[in-house]
Amino acid sequence: MVVALTLAMGAGTVESASAQPSGQRSLTTPRVINGGPGNSTDYPYLVSLLLGDRIPNPGPFQAQFCGGTLTTPTTVVTAAHCVVDQNNGVIRNPGSFYVGFGSDLKAPDYRIVGITNVSVNPDYSRRASSNDVAVLTLAQPVTDIPTLPPLSPAEAGGYTATGQPVRVVGWGNTSTTGNSFPAVFQVGDLAVFPDSVCGGGEAFIWNGLTFRGFSPAEANPASMLCAGGVTPDSRRIDSCQGDSGGPLVGGSGPAARLVGIVSWGNDCANEFPGVYTRVAAEYDFIKAAGAVPDSAPRVAPTIVVQPQSGAARISFVAAIDGSEPTAFAATVLDPATGQAVNCFAQPRKDGAPAVCIASGLTNGTSYQVTAIAGNGFGNSPPTAPYGFVPQAVPTPGRITKSTQLGGGKVQFRVTSSRPNGSPILTQRIICNPVAGRGARTSAITGKDVTVRRMAATSYTCVVRARNALGFADSLPFPVKVAK
């Protein structure tokens, strides 16, 4: 098992508050090495954690010991090991430290705000460094600084896939041979490494350099992700002491998200990548602690319309705008008569597109579809109208049950499809993985259909029936294949 060391530090001091179990190799909390100076206008949500008894003298530069991220005007997300004593598990008194805002720790007008509450994920493990996340509640709202939304599980696939660019920022040590702490935070350009590196023990080559992997006893990709970087002159980019708790940022502009939290590593800028708390995996705790911004959707969802016989199958993908939709709605309008049909769907927990079917339509008639996303704070603008014409394609049967047979085989029970006046040419079950590629399919020849060679992951499966006019898909049926 691995242990993250709580290293309290300023620009030239290091206080170790943890003991290393016998037989464990020494690990350090990370820093940005081989990065470049940051600009507060690019990362305004980056905050410093400051020891209260060091602020008056010698000041914020020596008082800084960790970083954090302003995710709402009243909350900061940081690492649990920054606020939990690694010897006895006691949570740091909120009156003993502060949150600082600004890029330069030596600025005479450096802004400091108090803390009223410290909330640590109850599943945080000091020994394993898992679920390494905490939320700080500020003594007063900070409304003039932009916030960074935490990455939700529904968004995670687009941000945490192997090779996705991410950036780590912080005031940590910039030297691999001594202590060199900057007054202005540093920025390092990294890439997300595959899960096989972060708990699978596999090596990974990035920009010509080989990074070693952490074993399952050291890292768990369910709550951790690994990232590393390489400069053009083949130097490793990494976080290190003093960067702990700070943000790993994915995306840019309105699509920027808090993807990870600086957690731990095996030394700094060596053969191993840095290890970060996987924010999407901690989203429920972060949200329950009040650190997810509340807002109505600001951007219309993306829709895909599949004409069916007397119906339309409409799938929705929420826009990445920092909001969290709780429902989607589509309106199918007949422009000639003004009559409209509505259908509704809820976001899926597995991140696959939500789907509804608008029925009661007339084949051969031209319709227009508009759609919105909404939550308790309001609705998004509608999509642009999308035109389609229902056709007498088959009405597909539906999947009513799945049974895992082992060895990558899943048996499905299906109902019959209706031809709607034209013979059905083919019927198949199609299973697409929610994340990644590798669809699996099998022809339907009876009520029970077995799909083979399915990997241990989550799938969305449909019945697809085809005739001479085209094809139609059933509503999605979720399947999670066990190992």
Kindly name the residue from 81, 321, 417, 474 that is annotated as catalytic.
81
- Look up 119 and say whether it is catalytic: no
Cα–Cα distance, 339 to 341 (Å, whole number): 7
Cα atoms in the Cβ-side hemisphere of radius 13 Å centred on 435: 17
**Local structure of residue 17 (DSSP, 8 states):** -
202 token code pair: 């596999």
Cα–Cα distance, 86 to 20 (Å, whole number): 10
User: If you search the block for the tokens 């083919």, which residue do you land on?
Assistant: 426
Phi-psi label, residue 447: left if phi above 0, alpha if psi -120 to 50, beta otherwise: alpha
- Look up 132 and say whether it is catalytic: yes
135 token code pair: 């939320």
What secondary structure does DSSP assign to 329-369, as a single string? EEEEE-TTT--EEEEEE---TTSPPEEEEEES--TT--EEE
CA 2 to chain centre: 24
Kindly name the residue from 244, 323, 417, 474 that is annotated as catalytic.
244
Q: Nearest Cα to 149, choosing from 222, 238, 253, 231?
A: 253
- Look up 109 and say whether it is catalytic: no
CB 350 within 8 A of CB 397: no
Kindly name the residue from 18, 104, 130, 132 that is annotated as catalytic.
132
CB 18 within 8 A of CB 87: yes
Q: Tell me the catalytic residues.
A: 81, 132, 244
